[in-house]
Homo-oligomer: A and B are copies of this chain.
Amino acid sequence: MDYGMAIDTMWVLVATALVFFMQAGFAMVETGFTRAKNAGNIIMKNMMDFAVGSVVFWVFGFGIMFGTDIGGYIGKVDLFSLSSFEHLGLGIPKEAFLIFQTVFCATAATIVSGAMAERTKFSSYLIYSLVISAVIYPIVGHWIWGGGWLAQLGFHDFAGSTVVHSLGGWAALMGAWIIGPRLGKFTSDGKPKVIKGHSLTLGALGVFILWFGWFGFNPGSTLAGTSTEAVSHIFVTTNLAAAAGAIASMILSWVRYNKPDVSMTLNGALGGLVGITAGTDIVSPSGAAVIGIISGIVVVLAIEFIENVMKIDDPVGAISVHGVCGALGTLLVGIFATDGGLFYGGGTKLLFVQLLGVGAVALWTNVTAYYLFKAIDKTVGLRVSSEEEEEGLDKKEHGTESYADFQPRVIYLNSDQI
């Protein structure tokens, strides 16, 4: 009996379950931070991008990501992931690896739904979701985790700050930009207005669930429960970065807005988690805390920048949390890696590779996502009608409402800004 393999398999599968559960976290954060009239629609998107992603990744994506390498850019398509994938030299059963990778793929896909919330056509979202899971994500995944060109250069993205999060974030950026802001989000002269989320408690629950799931996301990526020192270390760095991120965002929002902002603090915790994901295995606890602090600060500034300067409407802050903190966290590996990082005497070599990888993924994702969303827009249309948007997507897209027993506060919506 190979106990080592048994331990590693259990570890990966427990992590799989935790990462799966992050879908619930995303669903709660995204629905909590948006309006009640669209809650059911967001739930549907979160449920369906996981469902569609699971099937599509099994049918196509896994082969593209982990199939035999073709020129460093793509793996060989392997319909239904049927071959043995022996070239991977896995220490765990192929199916354990497949399901673990499936839940990662779905995480990347789901990030976009928050940024495009409250105005995207459901059918168009399904198309996007299918394409990202089948093609956009697996190709980047191949570059970095499937033995492709970035892997060969020594690019370090342990659990996916770039592969998963910044990829999702850039797709979110393109989506939110192309679809345009929600009705009433900006005044006619471009000043942002307040559109409050409908449940901070559900949003916070979502953040707790995500943090919990991250204890699968990062430590699971060792693919080895037998690497006891590594997984223990990853638990510590993951947790410290999240904690530091939350504290930093809270303090910054306190300074900037005079009051500690709840939703910014929640975003800060997530920013810290995203930021640490690339280097969680090779930065020290102190390094992790600093990465958390930087991420927590940057996430607040990025949210403001995207809204105030770029005039892009990202209701839940997905672009800042996943795109910006993902890219940033990956770069910071080049600085804080205890072996090879700039601050630890490793010079700039790693940093440049990190920069290259971050840039390449940003370029790839922004370009492909741009054309994807444009193509959807030209064909089936990306956005619901303004009448649908006003009435809410739940009623118009799904023929229902999410909170039938509560008196909605229908006025208030656009009337309370300076």
Residue positions of A touching B, CB distance < 8 A = 1, 3-7, 9-11, 13-14, 16-18, 20-21, 23-24, 27-28, 31, 35-37, 39-40, 43-44, 46-48, 50-52, 54-55, 58, 80-81, 92-96, 98-99, 102, 122, 196-202, 204-205, 207-209, 211-212, 215-216, 219, 225-226, 228-229, 231-233, 235-236, 239-240, 242-244, 246-247, 250, 257-263, 265-266, 269, 285-286, 289, 394, 397-409, 412
Contact partner, A35, options B209, B228, B401, B405, Cβ 8 Å: B405
If A226-B6, A258-B399 touch, whether A265 touches B47 (CB-CB below 8 Å) is yes
A199 near B21: Cβ-Cβ < 8 Å: no
Q: Which of A20, A208, A233 has the most CB of B within 10 A?
A: A208
- The 9 closest A-B CB pairs, nearest first, are A24-B208, A196-B404, A96-B232, A95-B232, A36-B405, A54-B243, A200-B402, A51-B243, A17-B215
User: How far is it, in angstroms, between the C-alpha of A64 and the C-alpha of B120 when the chains are bound?
Assistant: 54
Give bound CA distance, A262 to B39, whole Å: 10
* Residue contact A285 to B399, C-beta cutoff 8 Å: no
Q: Are A219 and B262 in contact (CB under 8 A)?
A: no
A5, A18, A201 — most chain B CB neighbours (10 Å): A201
A296, closest chain B residue (CB): B51
With A37-B405, A232-B93 as contacts: A99 and B239 at CB distance below 8 Å: yes
Give Cα A1–Cα B224 distance, bound, in whole angstroms: 12
Chain B residue contacts of A408, Cβ below 8 A: 405-407, 409
Are the C-beta atoms of A212 and B269 separated by less than 8 Å? no
What B residues does A1 contact at CB under 8 A?
3-4, 226
How many copies the complex holds: the figure is 3
A243 to B: closest C-beta gap in Å: 4
Measured between beta carbons, the chain B residues less than 8 angstroms from A247 are 48, 51-52, 55
Output the nearest chain B residue to A198 by Cβ-Cβ distance.
Answer: B405
Q: Assess whether A285 is in contact with B80, with CB atoms less than 8 Å apart.
A: yes
Name, among A16, A228, A285, the residue most crowded by chain B CB atoms within 10 Å (CB to CB). A228
Min CB–CB distance A265 → chain B (angstroms):
6
**CB <8 Å contact, B398 and A259:** yes
Q: How far is the CA of A273 from the CA of B87 in the complex (A)?
A: 33
Least distance between A149 CB and chain B CB atoms (Å): 29
Interface centre among A27, A102, A225, A398 (most CB of B within 10 A): A398
**Cβ of A212 to closest chain B Cβ, rounded Å:** 5
Residue from B10, B204, B240, B405 in contact with A11 in the complex, judged by beta carbons closer than 8 Å: B10
Of the candidates B18, B289, B412, the one whose C-beta lies within 8 Å of that of A404 is B412
Could you tell me the distance in whole angstroms from the C-beta of A128 to the nearest C-beta in chain B? 16
Quick check: B403 and A198 within 8 Å, CB to CB?
yes
Residue of B nearest to A46 (CB): B204
Q: CA of A247 to CA of B126 in the docked complex: distance in angstroms?
A: 11
Instruction: Give A2's nearest chain B residue, CB to CB.
Output: B228
Report how far A289 CA is from B102 CA in the complex, Å. 15
Q: Are A403 and B9 in contact (CB under 8 A)?
A: no
Bound state CA distance, A204 and B219, in angstroms? 27
Chain B residues with CB under 8 A of A233:
93, 95
Question: With the chains together, A399 CA to B200 CA distance in Å?
Answer: 13
A17-B216 contact in complex given A95-B235, A247-B55, C-beta closer than 8 Å: yes
B21 touches A228 (CB 8 A): no
Measured between C-beta atoms, what is the minimum distance from A365 to chain B in Å? 24
Give the residues in chain B near A81, CB-CB below 8 Å.
285
- A20/B196 in contact, CB under 8 A: no
The interface centre, meaning the residue of A43, A202, A394 with most chain B CB atoms within 10 A of its CB, is A43
Partner of A48, one of B31, B102, B215, B250: B250
Q: Is the CB of A93 within 8 A of B403?
A: no
Q: Which residues of B contact A48 (CB under 8 A)?
A: 246-247, 250, 265
Residues of B within 8 A of A197 (CB): 404
Residues in B neighbouring A231, C-beta threshold 8 A: 9-10, 13, 96
Are the CB atoms of B21 and A208 closer together than 8 Å? yes
Report A21 CB to chain B, min CB distance, Å. Answer: 5
